[in-house]
Each structure stands twice: as C-alpha cells, then as structure tokens.
Amino acid sequence: MATRKHPDYWHKAKRHLSQKDATLAHIIRAYKGETLASRGSAFFSLARAIVGQQISVKAADTVWKKLEATLGGIILPAPVITTEDRRLRACGLSERKVIYLKELAQFFTNRKRHGWHRQDDEEVITDLISIKGIGRWSAEMFLMFHLMRPDVFPLADLGLQKAIEKHYNAGRKMSPVRMRKLSEMWKPYRSVATWYLWRSLDPIPIEY
C-alpha cells in the first residue's frame, strides 16, 4: 500500500477556520486527528476521481476495492491498459468509465513528465481537462488530493453543496453565488473547509 502524505498546512488551517467560522469549528472538533491524505501517485488520484464521478463515496470505495482485486492490488497504467474491458466493467464501472480509465492510463504511459507542481491551479486544470474523461471536478480533486493545494473550492461537487446547505441553510437550497460568497471567509484554506464539510456527511474519509 502506498504511503499517505498529509498537508503541512493542516493545523494552521484548522486554527484559521475555527477562528473565522463557529460552524466549521464544531465540525473540526468532531473529527480531531483526521486529515486529508494523498497517496502520492498522480495516476491513483485521477483514476480514483474517474471512478468516483457521479456516485456516492461508499459506492466509489466498493468499486475501487473490486478494481484493486482485479488488477492485483495496486492500480497502475499498464494493467489497466491490458485488462479486458469486460473484467473492468465487472468491477462496477460503466462502459464510459472503462474508456476514460484506459485513456488516462495511455496518457501516463505516453507522457512521462508533467510539471504540475510548477503550475498554478488554473494551469493544472487546463492541462488535465485535455484528457478524455477528466473534467473540472476531477481536476479539482487532483489539486486537492495529489498536489494538496490549500485553496480549492469545488463548487460543482454535490456533496459539498449538500453539506453547505445542511450546516448553513437548514437543509434548504442555496445558490452557487451564495455558496461562493460564504466560502470567502475560508480563504486561503478552502480545500480544508471542503474536506471537513464532506467528512460531516460521509462515514469514511474521502480519498482521491
């Protein structure tokens, strides 16, 4: 199993968010000792994001475990490319997601150097969405979980929307404009705020 890396800014971010927002302070206290974690693999992060597209965290975790078992424990580009589509679909992947995973594996096979650590957030997103199956949401997950950028706010994420509406609007619908305005007080640690809001809803920590 790959070693997990943790952001060096996490404790500073917790203090900042707790001082700025009493609601988040309460959530942060409920998950003491937990942090966002990166597996340190760019391919892992993007493949996990593809698997997690438009399904629940629990469902994505189930599919991922089946995929790991099918591919021998560690999900790498070469086994994804060589494994028959039907075997990948048997893990719970849609036909479209199988195509996306194979496109991603081919991308990593052909392109050895990426330079993402030297790019700003929007440059990384622009580069990643050139890969078939990677949209802005998947790129934002990559920024958070692989590059561990501190101030990503994936506004289109349904789980994040649900958590914000639950904690800040009594479960009622809230417009994206209001959500973005609310997030201003979380800068420059919106990735951390997002992670804790996700955590408040899900029985297991999210990993990408």
| 69 falls within a domain | yes
Domain end: 127, 145, 163, which one?
Answer: 145
Residues 48, 67: one domain? yes
Residues 102, 135: one domain? yes
Residue with tokens 């974690």: 37
Residues 70, 114: one domain? yes
Q: What angle, rounded to 10 degrees, do the helices at 158-168 and 176-183 form?
A: 80
Residues 91, 141: one domain? yes
Residues 102, 162: one domain? no
Amino acid letter, 7:
P
Residues 136, 194: one domain? no
Residues 108, 180: one domain? no
Residues 129, 191: one domain? no
Phi, psi angle pair for 207, to nearest 5°? -135, 135
| 156 falls within a domain | yes
Q: What is the pLDDT of residues 31-89, one digit of tens each?
A: 988 999 887 789 999 999 999 998 888 899 999 999 999 998 889 999 999 999 999 99
| 52 falls within a domain | yes
Q: What is the pLDDT of residues 160-191, one digit of tens each?
A: 999 999 999 999 999 999 999 999 999 999 99
pTM: 0.89
Across 13-19, average pLDDT: 98
Q: What is the distance between the alpha carbons of residues 196 and 201, in angstroms, rounded to a whole number?
A: 9
With beta carbons less than 8 A apart as the criterion, state whether 170 and 205 touch: no
The domain in which residue 181 lies consists of 10-35+152-199
Number of domains in the chain: 2
Q: What is the pLDDT of residue 34?
A: 92
Three-state DSSP state, 38 = strand
Say if residue 130's pLDDT is above 70: yes
Residues 46, 122: one domain? yes
Q: For the CA atoms of 156, 160, 163, 167, what is the dihedral angle to 10 degrees?
A: -80
| 121 falls within a domain | yes
Across 118-140, average pLDDT: 95
| 48 falls within a domain | yes
Say if residue 1's pLDDT is above 60: no
| 204 falls within a domain | no
Say if residue 2's pLDDT is above 60: no
Residues 76, 161: one domain? no
